[in-house]
Structure 1
Amino acid sequence: MHLRAYLRASTKEQDASRAKKDLQCFADERGMKIVSWYVENESGASLARPELFRLLSDCHPGDVLLVEQVDRLSRLNADDWSKLKAEIAAKRVRVVALDLPTSYQLANAGDDFSSRMLDAINGMMLDMLAAIARKDYEDRRRRQAQGIAAAKAKGEYKGRPEDAKRNAEIMQMLRDGKSWAGIIAATRCSRSTLSRLRLRMQEEAALDQNSAR
């Protein structure tokens, strides 16, 4: 059995490794060793998480997936949560979360009967906490949208500040002929951002041509 720790934050501005000390303390207190760490800055509401699936790919039956909180693993909708659970079950991985005490015993489960009973109990608790995490995500998104709508109505909404340095780098990549897939992989920007920046470049080029006439 290997203990594999997963750390996640939603944005690049957040420290995904923030909970590393807590996970290490959990392992140390139980005389266990974390064999590998998987860290990424991706939304918990998306299944597009390379490091999480690299972790699962590395797992062997009986390995433990250790997280700080269930919401680090999932803020997924019901369908995507079912897909992730199926992947975890297929790999026969045990999920242990610091905010889910019923999962602790899975790290040292002994006989088959005890393991199956603990898996069943833990599965129900995971489903409940995953549903709560999803509801919290949707509530925050709704409140955010309401706040933006109210600010727009008052003429006070300015939107998210532009990351000028990153966008300049992306535009230079576009000028250098880099592929969209390569740019997305390197900068983690969206295709809509690429489309917007390419359009900006075309508009700037058109202005330059008009100025030269």
Structure 2
Amino acid sequence: MDLAGEVPFKCEICYERFSLFKTLNEHINTHAGERPFKCGVCDKLFSNSTSMTLHMRTHTVKTPVRCEICDRSFNRSEYLTKHMRIHTGEKPFKCEVCDKTFSSGESLTRHKRIHTGEKPFQCEVCHKMFTRKVGVKHHMRTHTNEKPFQCEMCDRRFSHSGNLNKHMRVHTGEKPYKCELCDNRFGRSGNLNRHMRMHTGDKPFKSQEAKV
């Protein structure tokens, strides 16, 4: 960071800024899917040196703390405390508005924005606001046309992992949406909704009607 307090190096894909050019280059690897940093112990690959350094602590820590349920180890006791909530189901953080509970303070903070309407993260291209930083990251793909999720079966690419999961049902034949009236199953919720109109007698919207 320079004396003026500026962060001069900007990613042209997601517009996140960095104080060091080296950090920017490592960040760009996350968009390209490159992982040039390799752990010398277990050969795991990382897109940046910081992630690799943090990972290396799992090998070099002298007295790791270990989960007695799943045998996973952590280099800090507070990480183990948070992890244990997966097994215990403990949710000590409570929303004062709707009484919903959460396992972490970060999750509670994000949830509160539902009530306050706060959207602190903004797209620098179209100025759309979002409640979570990851929302901006995903939204930016509409501007960059980035599609980082690739189908291993047919090489089609998608901008979101959820779309890839839906697409995979074409290959796997999975049909998770079940009609409760006749037990027919569907790969997409939209197909189930259209099917349900056969039972309820509801007419589809004009834009969805079949062409004659």
- TM-score for both structures, normalised by structure 2: 0.25
Q: Which has the higher helix share?
A: 1
The structure whose RCO (Cα within 8 Å, separation 6+) is larger is 1
- TM-score for both structures, normalised by structure 1: 0.25
